[in-house]
A and B are shown apart, each in its own frame.
Chain A
Amino acid sequence: MLTTRILPCLDVDGGRVVKGVKFQGLRDAGDPVERAVAYEAQGADELVMLDVSATPQGRGNATDTVARVRAELRIPLTVGGGVRTDADAERLLKAGADKVAVNTAAVLDPSFLSRMAERYGSQCTVLSLDAAERDGGWELVIKSGHERTGKDAVQWAREAAELGAGEIVLTSWDRDGTRSGYDLELMRAISSAVRIPVVASGGAAHAQHLVEAAKAGASALLIASILHDGDTTVGELKDALATAGLEVRR
């Protein structure tokens, strides 16, 4: 039986880890390689690295950061943020990513997902989906939450899975960085609409939030600020998941 996974997420800008609240107000949170190694030692199941660079120079550094992390990291590495073209995906994979997460580019050109799945396999093709609450449903948002699309998030998840996405990282735009818990209704809606694993992202403050999301259908839990700030460890979170009856790797 597959275990419930914990995925620490490093937002990286110019070779440093940063974490914002609602995608803004970035704070420095350390060296990516040091953080990656520390989280693996704590029991992280995979690592996610998002390039949130505001400048082309920062983006160039991201490839180096992936290579530096890969040399040390012994668990899977997903890289996303600013992946616009097939060449971007290839560059990150060559540098050492195991999976590439695509967001805005897939919305603008859904065939991006099928091309990636065809070329590298579905296990490598991750859809990063940002959703915002809208009367009784969820709207797909893009460009780091700055642009609403008018598209239904659940419908898009279904489409993406059919196109070949092998996993969905689901971020609640309303909850990201707020520590008010994952959006459980959103998780239920998306995870019951697709047969691929869905990763809950955005809003976790403590272990109970992770337990709730896993019980709402999440295959994995993405966390950032509560780890970066030293509030808890991956090991403590896994203890809590196990106590709640979920299988974890320890």
Chain B
Amino acid sequence: MKVLVIDTGTSNLASMLAALKRVSLTPEVITTPERIERADRVVLPGVGAFGAGMRRLHDMGMAPPVFARIEAGRPLLAVCLGLQLLCDASTESPGVTGLGVLPATVERFEVAEIVPQLGWNKVKADEGCALLQDGYAYYANSYCLREVPEGWSAAHTHHGERFVAAVERGPVLATQFHPELSGAWGHELMARWGASC
């Protein structure tokens, strides 16, 4: 099955593409918005700063169709900065408006001694999760989501403080960690998302 991968100008696109192929999906990198709303599956990857990420989405005309797609409950996987872009805003880039799918503001880690959080940390899935399970995942982030938006199921973890590791609503999955780099556990999560509808 084909999956459209939005080219957010990220550095590890190759890892995402390789991981999608390993779960028998056929990734295609896109820079134009036309097919986003109706595609079977879409991936919104992302590393880097919130402001630059939103600017890139707007420049490509991607913001409205990504928003519409999520509201319609069509399969989408957002990773790392991708999750943060779904929120209203981030203290990383004051004044920049996010996609607003998740009514929350992303904030910098305040307690942890080592920032960015770079490495493997736990994932603890709350009751009600269908895709997310307990395990360890690979993270690379300095900012995090602290509260679970209404209507979403979530997994949590700790880095100095408790934060949201991932949220899901039907076949829409947004992870702060990198499932494409999270070993066998991440592979299985991506396979479950690849089969979700």
Chain A residues near B (Cβ < 8 Å): 1-3, 5, 40, 45-46, 67, 70-71, 74-77, 93-98, 119-124, 166-167, 195-197, 219-220, 249
Contacts and interface: CB of A to CB of B under 8 A. Distances in A.
B11 A93 contact: yes
A76 B116 contact: no
A74 B12 contact: no
Nearest to A71: B18
A2 B119 CA distance: 6
Interface stretch (B61-69, B145-153, B178-186): B178-186
Interface in B175-196: 178, 180-184, 186-187
Contact of A1 (B15, B121, B138, B182): B121
B127 interface: no
Interface of B: 11-12, 14-15, 18-19, 21-22, 47-48, 113-122, 136, 138, 140-141, 158-159, 178, 180-184, 186-187
A204 to B, nearest CB: 19
9 contacts: A3-B121, A5-B120, A71-B21, A74-B180, A96-B14, A97-B12, A124-B12, A195-B114, A249-B120
Pairs of residues from A and B, 6 with the lowest C-beta to C-beta distance, nearest first = A123-B140, A96-B14, A120-B11, A249-B136, A2-B119, A249-B120
A122 B121 CA distance: 19
A70 B113 CA distance: 31
Nearest to B47: A121
Residue with the greatest number of chain A CB neighbours at <10 A, chosen from B47, B120, B159: B120
A250 B43 CA distance: 28
A94 B114 contact: no
A249 B186 CA distance: 13
Contacts of B11: 93, 98, 119-121, 124
Contacts of A3: 119-121, 136
A5 B119 contact: yes
Given A3-B136, A75-B181, A249-B136, A98 B15 contact: yes
A94 B16 CA distance: 11
A232 to B, nearest CB: 20
Contacts of B115: 195
Contacts of B180: 74
Given A2-B119, A74-B181, 8 more contacts: A2-B114, A2-B120, A3-B136, A95-B14, A96-B14, A97-B14, A120-B47, A121-B140
B84 to A, nearest CB: 13
Nearest to B81: A121
B14 A93 contact: yes
Contacts of A195: 113-115
Nearest to B119: A2
Given A3-B136, A98-B15, A123-B116, A76 B121 contact: no
B190 to A, nearest CB: 10
Nearest to B49: A121
Given A5-B120, A196-B114, A219-B114, A76 B138 contact: yes
Residue with the greatest number of chain B CB neighbours at <10 A, chosen from A75, A96, A97, A195: A75
B18 A123 contact: no
A121 B116 CA distance: 11
